[in-house]
């Protein structure tokens, strides 16, 4: 038996989202149409069963939330929300002068380096997220001949990895990342317990400074080095010293030019 009532109306009724002007009319219809009434009842039951089943997932041992994970999130929020200047310790006038000074510097830096900073900030976030992740890489191998082929078919470009046998650096693995909506490679290296991320992405106009010159900087305690080779941009980020970042950059530049 069928009825000419549209399924959407039944769904909206069950979801308590039927517009008020249609509600009374539909409830009248339910009183007279056995088929629709039974269907509405079944859908109410189904909705309730789905809700209970979906909520059960979080209670299962496989997925239950780990307290240390929640704590980590709470701490990272509190840390990021903490004001950098304790204004209560400064007279209001001095605080205002400091604020104006900082704004002036920020505007100046923003206009000069906004594209670069935004690009670097995004990659820094990716690096930090990788460091905090339980699964930092998707392909785990110290062998460049395993890591490089893993990216085949996943990236619209190819790249070379350096031979690290005689160097202090160790390859850990790699994963696919998205930078400004384009796929790129993130490679993870290790040096004396420090981890270094190498991002390889296609060069995009206006995202990073153009040109092949090596651009070295530091940001929030991280050393960053960026350069372009061919159509690709390389960015190395680590909390180790700038000399270590530069040395890895040299190895990458040498292998890319082969």
Partner 1 sequence: MANPSGNTGTFEELAMPLFARLYNFACWLTQNRAEAEDLVQETFMKALKGFSAFRQGTNFRAWIYRILRNTFLTSQSGLRASVSLDAEGDASPEPFTSETPESVLLARIESESIQAALKELPVNYREIILLCDLEEMSYQEISLAIGIPIGTVMSRLSRARKVMRILLGAKLQGVVE
- Binding positions for partner 1, rule: CB under 8 A: 1-12, 15, 17, 35, 38-39, 41-43, 45-58, 62-63, 65-66, 69-70, 72-74, 76-78, 80-81, 125, 128-129, 132-135, 138, 175-176, 178, 181
* CA dist., res. 100 & res. 147, Å (int): 49
Residue number, 81 or 165, with CB nearest to partner 1: 81
Closest separation between CB of residue 231 and partner 1, Å? 22
Q: How would you class 237 by CB atoms within 10 Å of its CB: exposed for 0-12, middle for 13-18, buried for 19 or more?
A: buried
Residue number, 55 or 243, with CB nearest to partner 1: 55
Closest separation between CB of residue 195 and partner 1, Å? 16
Helix (H/G/I), strand (E/B), else coil: 239: coil
Pairing relationship of beta strands 182-191 and 194-202 according to DSSP bridges: antiparallel
Residue number, 81 or 205, with CB nearest to partner 1: 81
Residue number, 72 or 170, with CB nearest to partner 1: 72
Residue number, 30 or 247, with CB nearest to partner 1: 30
Phi and psi at 231, nearest 5°, equal -95, 10
* H or E element, residue 197: strand 194-202
Closest separation between CB of residue 45 and partner 1, Å? 3
CA atoms within 13 A on the CB side of 69: 6
Closest separation between CB of residue 146 and partner 1, Å? 18
Q: How would you class 122 by CB atoms within 10 Å of its CB: exposed for 0-12, middle for 13-18, buried for 19 or more?
A: middle
């Amino acid at each position: 038996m069928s009825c000419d009532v549209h399924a959407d109306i039944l769904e909206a009724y069950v979801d308590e989202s039927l517009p008020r002007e249609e509600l009374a009319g539909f409830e009248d219809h339910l009183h007279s149409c056995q088929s629709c009434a039974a269907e509405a009842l079944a859908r109410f039951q189904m909705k309730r069963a789905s809700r209970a089943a979906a909520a059960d997932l979080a209670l299962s041992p496989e997925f239950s939330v780990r307290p240390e994970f929640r704590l980590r999130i709470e701490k990272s929020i509190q840390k990021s929300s903490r004001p950098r200047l304790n204004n209560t310790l400064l007279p209001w006038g001095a605080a205002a002068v400091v604020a104006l000074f900082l704004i002036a510097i920020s505007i100046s830096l923003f206009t000069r380096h906004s594209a670069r900073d935004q690009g670097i900030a995004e990659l820094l976030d990716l690096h930090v997220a990788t460091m905090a992740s339980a699964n930092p890489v998707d392909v785990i191998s110290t062998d460049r001949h395993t890591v490089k082929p893993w990216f085949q078919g996943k990236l619209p470009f190819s790249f070379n990895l350096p031979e690290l046998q005689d160097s202090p650096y160790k390859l850990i693995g790699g994963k696919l990342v998205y930078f400004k909506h384009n796929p790129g490679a993130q490679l993870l290296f290790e040096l004396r317990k420090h981890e270094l991320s190498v991002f390889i992405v296609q060069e995009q106009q206006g995202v990073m400074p153009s040109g092949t010159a090596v651009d070295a900087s530091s940001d929030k305690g991280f050393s960053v080095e960026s350069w372009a080779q061919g159509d690709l941009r390389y960015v190395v980020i680590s909390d180790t010293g700038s000399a270590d970042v530069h040395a890895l950059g040299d190895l990458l530049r040498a292998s890319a030019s082969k």
